[in-house]
Amino acid sequence: MNALEIKNLTVDYGKFKLDGVNLGIKKGCITGLIGRNGSGKSTLIKAIMRQVDATGEILYDGKRFSNDEEGMSKRVACVFDRPFFSTRVKASRVAGYYKCAYENFDEERYKQLMARFELPENQRIYRYSFGMQRKFCLVLELCRNPEVLILDEPTAGVDPFDRQAVISLIQEFMMDENHTVLFSTHITEDLDAVADYIVMLEKGKKTLDSEKNGLLESYRLVHCPEMTPQLEKIAINPIKSAFGYSFLTTDKEISGENLNVKTPTVEELFLGFIGDGSAPDDVFGGGRQ
Amino acid sequence: MKKQGGNFVLKYLKAWWLGNGTYNRYNLSRILLMLLYIAAIFTITAFVSAGNIESDDMSGFFVAFGIAPGFLIGGAMGFYRFDKPSAVSLVPISYKKKCLCDFIVMVLLHALCVAYIAVLMSLFGILLPGLISLSEGMPFFETTGQLFNAKYNACGVLFYLFLYILIFGAGAVLSYIRKNGFRVIFTVVFTVAVCLYTFLLTGLGGGKMPDGNFSVNTDLTAIAGGWAALLVIALAACGMLACYVYMSLKFHKPKNY
């Protein structure tokens, strides 16, 4: 069952267009959203949160958002790419707003998480580092106990230690099977760790939408010193480097001398699809619908 | 888990303060503080100087200068624009409640500005005589040239109100022309322009020609009378508020997707 159903979503900025995106975010799963800078990830997230003018349809649990605006905005939480509140105020004041705005705000958990991430409550937010601001936003949204959590690069600027802590938090959130996460990131290692589904956007269009493990298993990453005509036939977007060639292939039985074959990671898959930047618009013929 | 939450007005106000009120991108709070600071300086200067000036013609200059910050805040509010994502756009209350709160906040802010202007005018002793003469239907500028030194006619009250709306409108138009480009530089340019405008008008209004007549203001006598001008002001104020309702609805009303 889909927690969020996105149908033919189009956002037209003039210079950029998110073009007719169809997407189902599975309930109880973590969906990773990947794509290059300017591919439309943040725009998609803003459209889901109804923060940009768009056409199409977004259903939450099968219902339109406008049917229960107040309830929906409490059940769907989002950590945007930057804080949507002033950074001139103290963290405790922002928490005060959350306490007032959200009946379910868990103050005890808030204090625990602030201590866990070593975020001083009586400090103005602009004095936090970028990574600390990201963590603070995540803590606030988690403590209001939403059902769907949308994250726009939550681990950007966060050190590896805290990144692991953020991932653990997301995993803790997912202990409840009714919870759902949509997770946009450039740090694809995070998706290796937690994602169930992978969605890729390229130039405002969805080019991939697949279950992660199945997707990774259906490809092989091949490194070879030379490209032969046989390899060229099965190679997807081969990339040439000083050490030879690397490419993705759907031929799982591929083997041979001088061939280094392995199952790709999400990052390798992403790079393999993009290739040298001249990859076709839709490597999967429109993706899973 | 302790149950949290407040009523929708409180939620909105807290969100407004965290978002529009203090959002570092727009610096509204800092602009307001700066203007209040300037207002305080102008007011003190006006009082101190007015006590030393014997000429009645000059007092209008200081009144105008003293109340200019009230106009400037009005102009800055014309710049006010809705933005997404923001604390206000994400506050979990229905769009009708958001619109209502938007409206209340805007009306209150305007009321504060006008109250500031009115208090200063009453301190200089021109509000009450102005209102009395207005209620008696006295025409504008009965005495040619007494634009700001309007102790005994209605022009002071009406002119200031009209100027307030004009300045707000100019702010709004500039903001609209710039579309999404609210820039602090515009506020600064606008503030300087308004100061110059007020200064020039006041200076010209107080400037006597060698033959004893004033040099300007003859064009403004075309306004028939106090009541007609008041009607124009009331209509402009209603238009201003209607614009807020429209903008607020346009911004908050859920999109049909």
Greater model confidence, B120 or B249: B249
Please state the length of chain B. Answer: 257
pTM over 0.95, yes/no: no
Out of A70, A78, A100, the one facing B6 most closely (by C-beta) is: A100
Order of strands across the sheet with A63-64? A17-26, A2-12, A55-60, A63-64
Confidence of residue B157 (pLDDT cuts 50, 70, 90): low
Question: What b/e sequence results for B63-79 when a residue is b if at least 16 CB atoms lie within 10 Å of its CB, and e otherwise?
Answer: bbbbbbbbbbbbbbbbb
Q: What is the 3-state secondary structure (H, E, C) of B19-34?
A: HHHCCCCCCHHHHHHH
**Gap between the Cα atoms of A198 and A34, Å rounded:** 7
Tell me: pLDDT of A175 over 70.
yes
CB proximity list for B3: less than 8 A, separation 6 or greater: A103
Confidence of residue A46 (pLDDT cuts 50, 70, 90): very high
Which among A46-55, B81-90, B193-202 has the top mean pLDDT? A46-55
Q: Which of A219, A222, A228, A214 is nearest to A252 (CA)?
A: A219
Tell me: pLDDT of B59 over 60.
no
Tell me: pLDDT of B150 over 80.
no
- Report the pLDDT averaged over residues A89-94: 92
Confidence of residue B217 (pLDDT cuts 50, 70, 90): very low
Q: Do residue A126 and residue B21 have CB atoms under 8 angstroms apart?
A: no
Q: Do residue B254 and residue A56 have CB atoms under 8 angstroms apart?
A: no
The half-sphere exposure of B215 on its side-chain side, counting CA atoms within 13 A, is 12
Is the ipTM above a cut-off of 0.85? Answer: no
Out of B84, B87, B95, the one facing A69 most closely (by C-beta) is: B95
Q: Work out the minimum CA distance from A156 to partner chain B, whole angstroms.
A: 19
**Gap between the Cα atoms of B120 and B46, Å rounded:** 10
User: A210-259 pLDDT, tens per residue?
Assistant: 999 888 888 899 988 888 888 888 888 888 888 888 888 888 888 887 88
Query: What proportion of chain B, given as a percentage, has pLDDT over 70?
Result: 30
The pLDDT mean for chain A works out to 87
Q: Give contacts of B95 with chain A, Cβ < 8 Å.
A: 69
Question: Widest CA span of chain A, in angstroms?
Answer: 66
Confidence of residue B231 (pLDDT cuts 50, 70, 90): low
In this prediction, residue B145 carries a pLDDT of 42
User: A106-116 pLDDT, tens per residue?
Assistant: 999 999 999 99
Greater model confidence, A53 or B205: A53
Q: Do residue A57 and residue B257 have CB atoms under 8 angstroms apart?
A: yes
- Report the pLDDT averaged over residues A272-282: 55
CB proximity list for B67: less than 8 A, separation 6 or greater: B116, B117, B120, B121, B160
Residue indicated by tokens 């996105």 = A6
Q: Are residues A134 and A126 in contact, defined by beta-carbon separation less than 8 angstroms?
A: no
